[in-house]
């Protein structure tokens, strides 16, 4: 069984994959992996969002850290695909990149798909369709499905996310999109 979610739902995906053994794969769309980093790095409009859910930051930083999947990466042991808008000011790309790097270091299959000119949520029709296609292809790959249609190439991460690798993944994603 797989789990997927976006934004706070993306956090729920990462938390469920980290703190339970219920799922075999997940998709995090512009999700949160590090609550403390989010509290320090999100834009002004969202800057107090977590205060209502977790507690005042930085006073409750230990609670933020305890609930952050990135701090318990040793417990996350299944494949994950991350889909992220590069212009996202609500949940910045560094949230996905930290999780991708950590999973790569553990040799867990991880895919990272970025979208230029997209922020928090995808708005362009071709990007929405590509996100659906690549997520489906990810599940087909992970669960050894035999679909009848030709699948989109899944950009699995095969090396640490240096700036060069980030650019190459972005170029690969651009070349796959219709």
Known catalytic residue at 7: yes
Rounded to two decimals, the pTM is: 0.88
Which residues, in sequence order, are bridge partners of residue 101? Answer: none
Of the candidates 34, 88, 101, 133, the residue annotated as catalytic is 88
Structure tokens at 12: 């729920």
Residue-wise pLDDT tens for the chain (178 aa)? 999 999 999 999 999 999 999 999 999 999 999 999 998 887 666 767 778 889 999 999 999 999 999 999 999 999 999 999 999 999 999 999 999 999 999 999 999 999 999 999 999 999 999 999 999 999 999 999 987 778 889 989 888 777 766 777 777 767 766 6
Known catalytic residue at 12: no
Which residues, in sequence order, are bridge partners of residue 111? Answer: 81, 156
Kindly list the structural domains of the chain, giving each domain's residue range(s) and its CATH number in brackets, ordered by start: 2-34+73-176 (3.40.50.1820)
Of the candidates 7, 47, 65, 72, the residue annotated as catalytic is 7
Residue 43 CA: distances (Å) to CA of 7, 14, 23, 99: 14, 22, 32, 20
Whose tokens are 């997927």? That residue is: 4
Known catalytic residue at 36: no
């Amino acid at each position: 069984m797989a789990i997927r979610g976006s934004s706070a739902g993306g956090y729920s995906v990462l938390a469920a994959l980290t703190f339970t053994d219920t799922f075999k794969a997940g998709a995090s769309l512009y999700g949160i992996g590090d609550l403390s980093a989010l509290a320090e790095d999100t834009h002004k409009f969202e800057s107090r969002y977590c205060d209502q859910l977790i507690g005042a930051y930085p006073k409750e930083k230990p609670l933020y850290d305890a609930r952050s999947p990135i701090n318990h990466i040793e417990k996350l042991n299944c494949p994950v695909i991350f889909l992220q808008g590069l212009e996202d000011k609500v949940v910045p790309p560094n949230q996905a990149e930290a999780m991708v790097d950590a999973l790569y270091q553990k040799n867990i299959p991880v895919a990272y798909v970025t979208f230029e000119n997209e922020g928090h949520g995808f708005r362009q029709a071709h990007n929405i369709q590509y996100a659906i296609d690549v997520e489906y292809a990810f599940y087909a790959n992970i669960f050894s499905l035999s679909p009848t249609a030709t699948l989109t190439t899944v950009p699995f991460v095969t090396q640490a996310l240096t700036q060069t690798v980030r650019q190459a993944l972005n170029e690969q994603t651009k070349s796959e999109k219709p």
